């Protein structure tokens, strides 16, 4: 099956009684006749595969969304039904995880699907199909897997996840075999009783874990093992996402909520990454995503049922669920038939054979035989191949012999060169011995010459032995080859059908051609060596003549020196004769002799120049001989290397050929193994091909994304170059605007929470009035009910407006859109700097406001103390008039209202100021006691006006009657409570011995200043001024800022 998109169904549950009591309204509108859903009052609309309104029954949901998927199970595909949504949205009800073993109209998807599966099995069993069904039930609780069908204790039911080439495995999971739908539902009920559930403020039976119920269905047609398939039907019931402020969970419930949200966050990230075709999918971020790895983007046909609440109280969670479901709609799974690879390959080949047979029958060519010309060509080709094989074998044998000849020639030549060098050395030693006059030295030299001659003889014997050994080695491989050929040919008749002769012939031919090429190269080297050695011999013979020329040159140079000296002497004598006026005849004789000497010197000089030129030619010849000698040496080394390579290749090929011929009898067994290996490799190849296809798609997507990013970067760079660096004023304006937007969103959320609480209070009062009106109807109550209904509608309109503003703010994408305007590190630094300055300014402003409210709170507290003092005096003075009582009561009411208005700012949470709470509680107790006292006075004063209520037709019991009577009954208890609260206030004073600046001090811990009633040391106490007040507000600037914002919203 090709890639298939994940299908998504959205189901809207009805409003529950608690939501109706709160006055919640429906915020979802389902478009009639279209699978589309819209949030009321917004432009948010989504389209899915299926959409079910709150009035749709269970059977309709199953028939439209699930039933058409069930036939895929019997085709061999995996199927997954996944329920997703917030807590209390109806996931467990829709899935039917907690249904009984009987099926009725309220049964969910699981019982109905199981019923259909066994109904189909019953029908197909009559068609010679065999089935085996097993069930497994696991629970993921606090990132720990539990086997719900293990029948063991909770601790012993823990299982773990493992992963192999076939996918995710759960080690130690209990799989019970079942034969009917009733047995499956019993297993479902037994496992559901072990699931972790708990009560929260949103759901009295909230699932505290994720559950996966799996049916494994093995099917096989009788007498056909290749038709076996194994399918898995996963039914997933996820725990709902939670918000702590709504669930009000504490302790273990709170920890469970954290674990649930963590797993759902990882699941949401996986859905987002799969929808966006991300390169990396974080399946390993959570055990939940690892369990659902095949269901999301893997080998499964998946349906996701997104359950949502229609109450506007849950509008944000509903919108988040709809968005995730919309992203999941883009996920593409890759389902395949779960079949044994060997059986699948056999089925594929059988289908291919059938197709080919059908095509032959359609063409009518099934009886055509090959023409006789073709058979003749085949026979001729066989004969030629045989001849070619024989010729190649003969050529290979000749080449092997040629290699042996080369090796022997190389050994002989090496030996000859060595012997020549040693003989030359002997000749030199013999000449030296002949020219030596000392007899003793001659004797020693002759002794050395004798030893060298013996060494030369030993070396010659060793060389002869090596040559003989080489000849023997050349004979043995041929014999072995004949033996191997005999062994191979003796069994060739029996295994001729399995021997791949063409492959061996090709290798044989390739080896022979390679050896022939090397042989040709060796022949060329030998030819070049012969030419160069001949050239070296000529040069050496010429150089022997150059030795005589050098001697003549030396003699002539010596003669020139003698003649030059004689000439100088004659010239000197001639000068002396001229000086002494000697005879002219002697002078003339000497001049002639000088001229003769000069002429002779000139001739000798010319001869010296000619001899020098000859010597230079000799040096060049010597250098040329040296170069040629090096080249000859290199060529010999190359020849030796080539010969050795030829020998190695020949031996290697001979061993290879012998090995191939010995292993012929094993080919039948290997053929079977190769077939199995081929099947495994084919499966691996298919997997690799799928992986490569997926990687190519990812690479294409990444390339496309990279091009878009580069284009965007180029565009941004151009715009940045045009606009230049952003100014500080722009950054300041940007930060202030974003901070203002955040403050407005927080204010809207706080206002929404207050409006929801106010609406809940109005709805409760309205329910009480309606209950009273049903018992005693009257026009007054009807008017009150109408007024409250109007207030309720007005409050609902405000709630809708605030929700529309919050939804329109797009908080999920706000961070991304904020960062789009920041392109460089410099701009980010400017934004960070401006943001810190803005936060500092807001904190200072909030501290100032908190300080002012603290002063006002202190003033109101003092006024309350005075009012309490007056109240005590009134209690102690029974003669005080009723008007005085009423006046004090009004004062208390006014003070209580002012303190309550300041309470939202001064007392930020339930743990911060216990003394202030006690004070306010005391005021409430005093007020209630005073009201009871006034009621008592009124009763005593107006006894004459008491009538029988049964006889008074106009008497109506109002909603305030019951609490008023209860206050009268509780007046004595509240007096005791008041005394206890006052005593606790007095006893809560500190008795510190230190500075009263830590939480061991009762006053410091309670957030009040030490007074005269405290027993602390006056010289050490630092909690007697307004220091602690300032410190308290400095510790909680952000919280006070939020409370101040809430006050401004109010």
- Enumerate the known binding-site residues for ATP: 85-92
Say how far residue 570 (Cα) sits from the centre of its chain.
109
Structure tokens of 542? 């010429």
What CA dihedral angle connects 395, 397, 398 and 400, to 10 degrees?
120
CA distance 838 to 733: 11
Partnered with residue 220 across adjacent β-strands are: 130
CA distance 838 to 736: 7
Distances (CA, A) of 898 to 357, 861, 892, 913, 920: 98, 10, 10, 17, 11
CA distance 343 to 588: 130
Cβ–Cβ under 8 Å, residues 118 and 67:
no
Cβ–Cβ under 8 Å, residues 49 and 38:
no
Beta strands in 735-857 (DSSP E): none
The DSSP annotation for 65-129 comes to IIGGGGGGGGGT--EEEEEEEBTTSSHHHHHTTT--SS--TT--HHHHHHHHHHHHHHHHHTTTE
Residue 472: left (phi > 0), alpha (psi -120 to 50), or beta? Answer: alpha
DSSP character for 167? E
The DSSP annotation for 362-399 comes to HHT-TTPPPPHHHHHHHHHHHHHHHHHHHHHHHHHHHH
CA distance 38 to 31: 8
Say how far residue 52 (Cα) sits from the centre of its chain.
36
CA distance 171 to 1037: 53
**At 324, which helix (H) or strand (E)?**
helix 315-328
DSSP character for 240? P
Q: Is 1046 helix (H, G, I), strand (E, B) or coil?
A: helix
DSSP H stretches of helix in 942-1000: 961-969, 971-987
Cβ–Cβ under 8 Å, residues 37 and 28:
yes
**At 828, which helix (H) or strand (E)?**
helix 825-876
Binding site, by residue number, is: 85-92
Cβ–Cβ under 8 Å, residues 989 and 1002:
yes
Say how far residue 596 (Cα) sits from the centre of its chain.
108
Nearest to 33 by CA among 47, 12, 13, 14: 47
Cβ–Cβ under 8 Å, residues 963 and 952:
no
Partnered with residue 137 across adjacent β-strands are: 213
Q: What is the 3-state secondary structure (H, E, C) of 114-132?
A: HHHHHHHHHHHHCCCEEEE
By the 10 Å C-beta count (0-12 exposed, 13-18 middle, 19+ buried), 600 is classed as: middle
Q: Output phi, psi for 236, to 5 deg.
A: -110, 125
Q: Output phi, psi for 1037, to 5 deg.
A: -65, -40
Partnered with residue 178 across adjacent β-strands are: 133
CA distance 1014 to 986: 9
As a whole number of Å, the end-to-end CA separation of the chain is 60
> With DSSP H G I counted as helix, E B as strand and the rest as coil, what are the percentages for the chain, rounded to 5?
70, 10, 20
Cβ–Cβ under 8 Å, residues 849 and 1044:
yes
């Amino acid at each position: 099956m090709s890639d298939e998109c994940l299908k998504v169904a959205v189901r809207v549950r009805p409003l529950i009684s608690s939501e109706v009591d709160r006055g919640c309204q429906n915020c979802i509108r389902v478009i009639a006749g279209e699978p589309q859903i819209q949030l009321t009052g917004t432009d948010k609309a989504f389209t899915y595969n299926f959409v079910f309104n709150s009035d749709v029954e269970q059977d309709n949901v199953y028939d439209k969304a699930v039933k058409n998927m069930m036939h895929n199970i019997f085709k061999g595909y995996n199927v997954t039904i996944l329920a997703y949504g917030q807590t209390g949205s109806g996931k467990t009800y829709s899935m039917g995880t907690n249904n009984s073993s009987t099926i009725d109209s309220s049964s969910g998807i699981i019982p109905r699907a199981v019923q259909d599966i066994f109904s189909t099995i019953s029908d197909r069993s009559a068609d010679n199909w065999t089935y085996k069904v097993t069930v497994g039930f696991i629970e993921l609780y606090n990132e720990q897997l539990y086997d719900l069908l293990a029948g063991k204790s909770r601790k012993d039911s823990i299982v773990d996840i493992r992963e192999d080439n076939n996918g995710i495995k759960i080690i130690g999971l209990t799989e019970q075999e079942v034969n009917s739908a009733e047995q499956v539902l019993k297993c479902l009920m037994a496992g559901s009783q072990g699931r972790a559930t708990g009560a929260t403020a949103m759901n009295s039976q909230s699932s505290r874990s994720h559950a996966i119920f799996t049916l494994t269905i093995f099917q096989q047609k009788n007498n056909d093992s290749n038709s076996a398939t194994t399918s898995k039907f996963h039914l997933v019931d996820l725990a709902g996402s939670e918000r702590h402020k709504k669930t009000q969970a504490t302790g273990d419930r709170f920890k469970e909520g954290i674990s649930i949200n963590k797993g759902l966050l990882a699941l949401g990230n996986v859905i987002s990454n799969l929808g966006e075709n991300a390169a990396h999918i974080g399946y390993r971020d959570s055990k939940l995503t690892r369990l659902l790895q095949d269901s999301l983007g893997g080998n499964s046909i998946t349906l996701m049922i997104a359950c949502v609440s229609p109450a506007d109280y849950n509008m944000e969670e509903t919108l988040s669920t709809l968005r995730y479901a919309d992203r999941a709609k883009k996920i593409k799974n890759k389902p395949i038939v779960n079949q044994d690879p060997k059986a699948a390959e056999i089925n594929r080949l059988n289908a291919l054979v059938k197709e080919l047979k059908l095509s032959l029958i359609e063409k009518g060519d099934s009886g055509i035989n090959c023409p006789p010309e073709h058979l003749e060509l085949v026979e001729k080709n066989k004969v030629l191949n045989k001849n070619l094989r024989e010729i190649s074998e003969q050529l290979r044998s000749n080449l092997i012999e040629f290699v042996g000849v080369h090796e022997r020639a190389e050994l002989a030549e090496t030996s000859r060169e060595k012997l020549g060098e040693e003989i030359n050395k002997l000749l030199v030693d013999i000449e030296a011995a002949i020219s030596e006059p000392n007899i003793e030295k001659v004797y020693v030299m002759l002794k050395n010459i004798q030893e060298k001659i013996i060494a030369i003889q030993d070396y010659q014997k060793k060389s002869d032995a090596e040559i003989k050994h080489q000849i023997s080695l050349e004979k043995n491989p041929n014999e072995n080859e004949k033996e191997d050929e005999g062994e191979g040919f003796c069994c060739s008749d029996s295994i001729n059908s399995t021997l791949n002769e063409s492959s061996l012939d090709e290798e044989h031919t390739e080896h022979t051609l390679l050896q022939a090429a090397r042989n040709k190269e060796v022949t060329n080297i030998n030819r070049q060596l012969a030419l160069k050695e001949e050239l070296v011999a000529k040069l050496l013979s010429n150089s022997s003549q150059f030795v005589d020329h050098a001697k003549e040159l030396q003699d002539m140079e010596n003669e020139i020196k003698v003649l030059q000296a004689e000439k100088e002497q004659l010239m000197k004598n001639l000068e002396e004769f001229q000086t002494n006026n000697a005879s002219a005849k002697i002078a003339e004789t000497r001049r002639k002799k000088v001229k003769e000497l000069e002429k002779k010197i000139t001739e000798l000089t010319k001869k010296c120049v000619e001899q020098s030129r000859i010597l230079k030619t000799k040096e060049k010849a010597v250098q040329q001989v040296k170069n040629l000698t090096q080249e000859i040496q290199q060529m010999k080394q190359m020849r030796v290397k080539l010969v050795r390579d030829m020998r190695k290749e020949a031996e290697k090929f001979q061993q290879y050929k012998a090995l191939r011929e010995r292993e012929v009898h094993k080919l039948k067994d290997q053929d079977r193994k190769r077939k199995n290996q081929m099947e495994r490799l084919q499966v691996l190849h298919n997997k690799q091909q799928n992986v490569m296809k997926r990687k190519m798609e990812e690479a294409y997507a990444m390339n496309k994304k990279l091009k878009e990013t580069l284009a965007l970067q180029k565009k941004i760079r151009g715009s940045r170059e045009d606009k230049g660096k952003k100014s500080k004023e722009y950054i300041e304006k940007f930060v202030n605007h974003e901070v203002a937007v955040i403050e407005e969103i927080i204010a809207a959320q706080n206002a929404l929470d207050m409006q929801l609480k106010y609406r809940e209070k109005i709805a409760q009062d309205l329910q009480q009035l309606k209950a009273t009106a049903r018992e005693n109807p009257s026009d007054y109550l009807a008017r009150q009910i109408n007024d409250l209904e109007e207030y309720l509608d007005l409050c609902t309109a405000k709630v809708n407006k605030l929700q529309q503003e919050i939804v329109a703010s797009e908080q999920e994408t706000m961070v991304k859109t904020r960062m789009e305007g920041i392109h460089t590190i410099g701009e980010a630094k400017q934004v960070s700097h401006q943001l810190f300055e803005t936060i500092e300014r807001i904190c200072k402003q909030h501290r100032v406001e908190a300080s002012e409210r603290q002063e006002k709170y202190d003033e109101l507290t003092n006024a309350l103390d005075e009012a309490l003092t007056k109240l005590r005096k009134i209690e102690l003075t029974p003669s005080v008039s009723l008007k005085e009582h009423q006046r004090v009561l009004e004062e208390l009411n006014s003070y209580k209202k002012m303190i309550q208005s300041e309470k939202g700012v001064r007392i930020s949470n339930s743990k911060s100021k216990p003394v202030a709470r006690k004070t306010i509680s005391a005021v409430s107790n005093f007020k209630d006691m005073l009201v009871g006292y006034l009621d008592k006075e009124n009763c005593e004063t107006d006894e004459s006006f008491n009538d029988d209520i049964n006889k008074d037709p106009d008497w109506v019991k109002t909603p305030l009657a019951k609490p008023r009577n209860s206050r009268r009954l509780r007046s004595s208890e509240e007096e005791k409570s008041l005394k206890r609260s006052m005593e606790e206030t007095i006893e809560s004073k500190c008795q510190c011995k230190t500075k009263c600046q830590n939480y061991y001090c009762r006053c410091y811990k309670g957030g009040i200043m030490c007074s005269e009633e405290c027993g602390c040391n006056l010289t050490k106490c630092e909690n007697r001024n307004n220091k602690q007040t300032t410190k308290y507000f400095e510790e909680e600037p952000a919280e006070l800022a939020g409370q101040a914002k809430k006050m401004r919203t109010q």
